[in-house]
Amino acid sequence: MGDQHFLIDDRVIDRIIRYASLESNDTVLEIGAGTGNLTKSLAKHVSNVIAIESDLSLVEKLEYLSLPNVKVIQGDALKVEFPKFDKIVSNLPYSISSDITFKLLKHNFKLGVLMYQHEFAKRMVATAGMKNYGRLSIVTQYFAEIQIMEIIPNSALYPQPEVKSAIVRIVPHTPQLEGFDKDFFLELVAAVFTQRRKQMKNVIINAAKMMNLGDAEKLIEMLPQEIMSKRPEKLSPEELAVLSNLIYKVHHEAPTI
């Protein structure tokens, strides 16, 4: 069972279904399907549900439900290659929240409704300058519109978690920057936030070493100096995206700098 907490409150499940704006022809991905309480409700509303579950005993329970439009995949959701899907609706195991969110945002989908720890959800919507603002805030907000829909009482889950949970709605949007490289942006943000309290000039020097970007001093000369004097935790997702785009273009147009 690990850190999985199963949804047992039908009222919460009904609200999750409503938040997901399900359509009859949707293919829905569910990660950490558990005992199938949410799975059964999803199956009533859409044409296909792809349920990923790592625990073999829970996979057997899901298969025993014999739902004709549900495909059960046994495996680690961080390692399984996701099939094509329209929406993601899941009560996620806490321990994979961060990694699974970054993985999901590399895929094209219409909408997600996910349950997270409340503190994790607050990090997703944190803005520049806030204590809990960081890599997660920047990546999720740059690639999607994030909204905390409601806080869930512990009694809605079994076994009851020690912390509050939250339902989060994710609506992806496409970056507008021309030539934007998503993987490079993700790598740069990860490198930058290992040193969030240094000035960006020093951050770029270290990031250049980590990412093999060549001569960091020459690179810095080509970047906006007003950003170089700020700290990463003060930069908006859009500012970091513009910076990523500039560094990517400089590095790829002049790889020997």
Residues 135 and 94 in one domain: yes
Last residue of a domain, one of 145, 172, 199: 172
In a domain, 1, yes or no: no
Q: What is the largest CA-CA distance in the chain?
A: 63
Bigger pLDDT: 255 or 53? Answer: 53
pLDDT level of residue 251 (50, 70, 90 thresholds):
confident
What does the mean pLDDT of the chain come to?
Answer: 93
In whole angstroms, give the CA distance from residue 81 to residue 106.
12
pLDDT at 256 > cutoff 70 = no
Does residue 94 share a domain with residue 165? yes
Residue 116 pairs in a beta bridge with: 166
Structural domain count, the chain:
2
pTM (predicted TM-score): 0.92
The structure tokens 């290659």 sit at 81
- The DSSP code for 234 is G
**Residue 196: predicted pLDDT:** 80
54 inside domain: yes
Would you say residue 202 lies in a domain? yes
- Bond from prior residue into 68 cis (ω within 30 degrees of 0): no
The predicted structure's pLDDT at residue 254: 58
Average pLDDT over residues 102-125: 97
CA 40 – CA 68 distance, rounded (Å)? 11
- Which domain, by its residues, includes 119? 6-172
Buried b (16+ CB within 10 A) or exposed e, 158-189: beebeeebbbbbbebeebebeebbbebbbebb
What order of strands is seen across the sheet that includes strand 165-172? 70-74, 48-53, 27-31, 87-91, 111-117, 165-172, 144-152
Mean pLDDT over 124-135 rounds to 95
**Distance, CA of 13 to CA of 19 (rounded, Å):** 10
Q: How many alpha carbons lie under 13 Å from residue 167 in its C-beta half-sphere?
A: 21
Would 76 be classed as within a structural domain?
Answer: yes
Tens-digit pLDDT profile for residues 12-25? 999 999 999 999 99
DSSP state of 96: G
Same domain, 108 and 188: no
Q: Write the pLDDT tens digit of every residue in 151-186.
A: 999 999 999 999 999 999 999 998 888 889 999 999
Band of the pLDDT at 239, cuts 50, 70, 90?
Answer: very high
Among 53-62, 180-189, 244-253, whose mean pLDDT is lowest? Answer: 244-253
* 134 shares a domain with 199: no
- CATH number of the domain where residue 194 is located: 1.10.8.100
When pLDDT is averaged across residues 195-220 and rounded to a whole number, the result is 91
Tracing tokens 């704006």 back to the chain, one arrives at 21
Nearest of 181, 177, 208 to residue 192 by alpha carbon: 208
Whether residue 190 is found in the same domain as residue 145: no
Give the CATH number, domain containing residue 104. Answer: 3.40.50.150
Domain identity same for 153 and 195: no
